[in-house]
Amino acid sequence: MLDIKVIRHDPEGIQRALDRRGSGVSIAEIVEVDQQVRRLIAEQEALNQRGNQIAASFKTGEVPAEQMEQRRQESRDIKTRRGEIDVALKELEPRREALLLAVPNVPDSSVPDGADQTGNIELKCWGDVRAIHEPKHHYEIGTALGMLDFDRGVKLAGSRFTVLSGFGARLERALMNFMLDTHGDTGYGEVFPPALVNSASLVGTGQLPKFQAELFRCADDDLYLIPTAEVPVTNLYRDEIVDESLLPILHCAYTPCFRREAGAAGKDTRGYIRQRQFNKVELVKFTIADMSAQEHEKLTRDAEGILEALGLPYRRVLLCAGDMGFGGRKCYDLEVWFPAQNKYREISSCTNFGDFQARRANLRYRPKGGGKPEFMHTINGSGLAIGRTLAAILENFQEPDGSVTVPEVLRPYLGGVVTRIDSK
C-alpha cells in the first residue's frame, strides 16, 4: 500500500510513476475521497471543540438567560451534524482504504520503462548450455522413467495435478532438503508455516483483493490455501513492533503451494511447469530502508547459488515497469534453460517490495535510537520452485540412452550411490 501522505504531497508524481507500469490506475479518485475525509474530520474536530465550549458555559452559568435557548439549539444542531459526519465517514474511510489497496507499488527509479516482457533487460547469463541432439521434453523423460504420472494426477484431482512416483518423489524431496540446507547454512532461519491462511494475511502481502480468482478458498471458513510461502512467512510479524537490532530477519520455508491458474488457459498444458499444486522453497527478508537494495541483491544471489550448485544454466533478467508484479518495487527474474523448448523459463522472481507490504500488514520496527516505530522493507524470492527445478534437471542432464544424470550435490540426498536415473 502506498503512503497516503506521499500521495497528498505529490499526486502528479505518483501518477506518472504508476503510468510507467501501464496499470491504468488513476489516483484522482483517491485524492478526491481523501480530501472529503479530511474536510469532514476537520469539521468534526471543530464541532467537538464548540460543543465542549457550550457544555462548559452551561456548567459555569456564564450564559445569559436570553441566550440559553439559542445555545441549546446550537448544541442540538452540533449533535445532529456530528451524526451526519459519522455516517459519511463510515462510508468514505473504507472506500479510501479499498481504493488504496487496489493501487500497485511505485517502480524504483532503476527499473526500466516497458509495457511487457520485451522491455526486460538481461543482466547476466551463467553456465554452459549443453549440445543435446533432439532433446526430449521433461514430461517425456519423466513419464518414460516412471517419475511423473500425469494421468493418475488428473484422475485424482483434475487437470494440472501430477503424481510423482519412485525417483520422481525422491528427487523432489532431495531438492527440497538440499535447498533448505543450503539456505540454512547461508543464515536463513527455517520455518514451516501453515498451508492455510486467513484473508488478513493475503491482504497483507497483496494477493487480496486483486487476485481473488487465483486463490483456492475454503467455503466454510475465512481460510485460503496459500499460493506461496511468502504469504504466511511475511505475516509472521504482522501487527508487531520488532527491535531494529534484530534486523535483517531472514527466513526460508518449504511449503506446498496452490494456485487456480485461472488465466493460464492453453499455457503449459503439458508437463510439470504450471501446476495447481506445486512445491517451493521461499526466501523472505525483513530489513530497513537503508539496507533494502543491498539485501535484495544478496537474496537474488542466494537463489542463483542453488542453480549454480546444480549446474543448471540460467540468466538474470531485470523486469521493466510494465512486467513487474502488483506489489513489486524492483524485481529480478531468474530463468533456467530448457533444452527441449530452446529457451529460458522463469524459476524464481526475487522482489523488493519496499514498505508496500509492510504498510498493508503493519510490519514495523523500533529504531535503535528510539523514537516512533517505522515500517520495515520486505524482500522475497523463490529459492527455488522445486517442480520447475526437477523439470530443468530432467531436460539438461538427459542422456542419449534415456537416463538422467543426477547433479553431484543431490547424490548424498539419494543415498550417496545414485548417480544416474534410468528405467531399470
Q: What is the mean pLDDT of residues 229-233?
A: 98
Pairing relation of β-strands 363-366 and 121-126?
unpaired
Asked whether 316 and 127 are in contact (CB, 8 A), the reply is no
Pairing relation of β-strands 223-225 and 249-258?
unpaired
As beta bridge partners, residue 345 has 336
Q: Which of 304, 364, 388, 403 is catalytic?
A: 388
Q: What is the pLDDT at residue 47? A: 96
Residue 380's nearest CA partner among 306, 284, 291, 292 is 284
pLDDT at 264 over 70: no
pLDDT per position as a tens digit, 322-332: 999 999 999 99
pLDDT at 62 over 80: no
- The residue with greater pLDDT, 295 or 64, is 295
Buried-exposed string 207-229: b where 16+ CB fall within 10 A, e elsewhere: bbebbeeebeeeeeeebbbbbbb
| 388 carries an active-site annotation | yes
Q: What is the pLDDT at residue 248? A: 98
Residue 354's nearest CA partner among 29, 9, 17 is 17
Q: What is the pLDDT at residue 265? A: 67
Cis peptide before 99 (omega within 30 of 0): no
| 349 carries an active-site annotation | yes
Q: What is the mean pLDDT of residues 120-125?
A: 98
Q: Which of 274, 345, 366, 411 is catalytic?
A: 274
| 346 carries an active-site annotation | yes
pLDDT per position as a tens digit, 181-220: 999 999 999 999 999 999 999 999 999 999 999 999 999 9
What the block records as the C-alpha cell of 284 is 523472505
Cα-to-chain-centroid distance, residue 136:
33
Q: What is the pLDDT at residue 61? A: 72
Task: Compute the distance between CA of residue 5 and CA of residue 19 in angstroms, rounded to an integer.
Answer: 19
Q: What's the pLDDT band for 424 if we cut at 50, 70, 90?
A: low
* Sign of the torsion angle spanned by Cα atoms 238, 320, 337, 302: negative
Residue 51's nearest CA partner among 21, 98, 29, 83 is 83
Residue 164's nearest CA partner among 152, 155, 175 is 152
Q: What is the mean pLDDT of residues 269-288?
A: 95
The CATH homologous superfamily to which domain 117-421 belongs is Bira Bifunctional Protein; Domain 2 (3.30.930.10)
Q: Which of 170, 259, 329, 364 is catalytic?
A: 259
pLDDT per position as a tens digit, 332-369: 999 999 999 999 999 999 999 999 999 999 999 999 98
- The residue with greater pLDDT, 235 or 53, is 235
| 39 carries an active-site annotation | no
Q: Which of 93, 244, 346, 374 is catalytic?
A: 346
Q: What is the pLDDT at residue 270? A: 86
| 259 carries an active-site annotation | yes
Coil, strand or helix: which one is 57?
helix
Residue 194 CB neighbours (<10 A)? 12
Q: Which of 201, 349, 382, 403 is catalytic?
A: 349
pLDDT per position as a tens digit, 161-179: 999 999 999 999 999 999 9
Q: What is the pLDDT at residue 404? A: 97
